[in-house]
A and B are shown apart, each in its own frame.
Chain A
Amino acid sequence: MNRRNCLKGIGSTGALAAAVAVGLLKPDDVLAAEWNKTAFDAKDLASAVKSVGGAAAIVSKDLLIEAPDIAENGAVTPVEVISKIPNTTSISIFVEKNPAPLSVHVDFANGALPEVSVRLKMGHTSVIKAVAKADGKFYSATREIKVTAGGCGG
């Protein structure tokens, strides 16, 4: 389901009206986000990164990944990505060894700082990759997190 259909769907429940009432869904404020199916469905890191546009990303020391070196519970691995690259407008976070590596993609606007913290599921010890977009260029950083108990159930 794409975002447009989602919005049509919620319109019928009145939630859209509520969202408009609080000024959330003024058409010109809506950025772009249609769920990036290609990127989220990608089964390997390289194609997932490519699908968010980051195939030629440059490794940057100004893109920081804050996370524990060892995650005791892979079901809730706290990860924070902070970009100190000027004019960063989006951050994507990937877990290389997960069945679908892309976990989160965030676009920032209207004064939001280019930082995001999230808790991710990790099935195995894996490299976490962050990709940030700034001034039309892509930057990346990686960090390995060791997982002692997996988080993907089954």
Chain B
Amino acid sequence: MADPMKIRARMVGNVCDIKVLMAHPMETGLRKDSAGHVVPPHFIKTFTVALNGKMIVDGQAAQSVSRNPVFGFKVGGAKSGDKVTVTWIDNKGETRTDGADVG
């Protein structure tokens, strides 16, 4: 299982600012290791962000997103104490779901 995501959600005025760091190698499939072997692609393909169980962001990603992806989103209509849930699924079918409270 991949390492937990770091999720920070905080209110800035009446908008909730969400930052997510997903621990993932995001291998492109183009890189070679020190022995000269091509490292196979391994990257997050889809991810979702939900606020209190309602999906607010439905995302798709490619290998060209940086290693340990950091995404930032904003949502209106949130309040302190609301639950933010993030899920990702990678090209090997691995998945991870983590949550945080809006601060």
Across the A-B interface, how many residue pairs have beta carbons closer than 8 Å?
Answer: 165
Chain B residues, CB < 8 A from A86:
none
Q: How far is the CA of A153 from the CA of B31 in the complex (A)?
A: 5
Q: Could you list which residues of chain B lie within 8 angstroms of chain A, going by C-beta atoms?
A: 15, 28, 30-32, 45-46, 48-67, 69-78, 83, 85, 87, 89, 91, 93, 95-97, 99
Contact B60 A40 (CB under 8 A): yes
Task: List 22 contacting pairs A-B, 8 Å CB cutoff, sorted by A.
Answer: A3-B89, A6-B89, A6-B93, A6-B95, A9-B93, A10-B93, A10-B95, A13-B95, A24-B50, A24-B97, A29-B50, A30-B58, A35-B46, A35-B60, A76-B66, A110-B55, A111-B51, A111-B56, A111-B76, A117-B72, A118-B70, A154-B32
Contact B31 A29 (CB under 8 A): no
Contact B64 A95 (CB under 8 A): yes
Q: How far is the CA of A47 from the CA of B58 in the complex (A)?
A: 22
Given contacts A7-B89, A15-B97, A109-B55, 6 further A-B contacts (CB under 8 A): A6-B95, A19-B87, A99-B28, A107-B58, A115-B72, A154-B31
Contact A3 B28 (CB under 8 A): no
